[in-house]
Structure 1
Amino acid sequence: AAWRVPFLPTRVGLGSDLHLVNPDLRTVRSPYPGPDGGEGEELIAQPAICLDAAICHLNVGDQRGNAAFTGPDLYF
């Protein structure tokens, strides 16, 4: 999702039946020729994951979950 692409082609899961039981996974053919010069290889199109979270590094925090950014880190 951070790359703003709808899917990422991957070889992960090609030897399994995962794409047959999961309707979100589809196969795509690479537009680039294979190593032997023939057709492009078949890949799995892994859809982007839409996360609703962020990781922030803050300077101070307490046990109740409150946190504050007090300024730039001089050692960063």
Structure 2
Amino acid sequence: MTPLIVLLGLCLLVITLGYILWCAASPWGTCTRCRPGGKNRTCRACNGTGMRPRLGWQLFVYLTRFYRDHTR
């Protein structure tokens, strides 16, 4: 049972680090609310650009600003 728990923990760590690296390398992803394959000028989620920040990047920016604002 213990090797299974260690393996699951290691897999979770690898997936998490991979997502962090992916967000650092490419913080912008395609907008899921726009129609696939094009930009929708009336989309409120991306303001018609077709690109929006990934969830991991949004979390990083939020935590960075929170830390900066509360350590002054």
Q: Which has the higher strand share?
A: 1
The normalised TM-score by structure 1 is 0.23
Greater share of helix: 2
TM-score, normalised to structure 2's length? 0.24
Which protein has the larger Cα radius of gyration, Structure 1 or Structure 2? Answer: 1
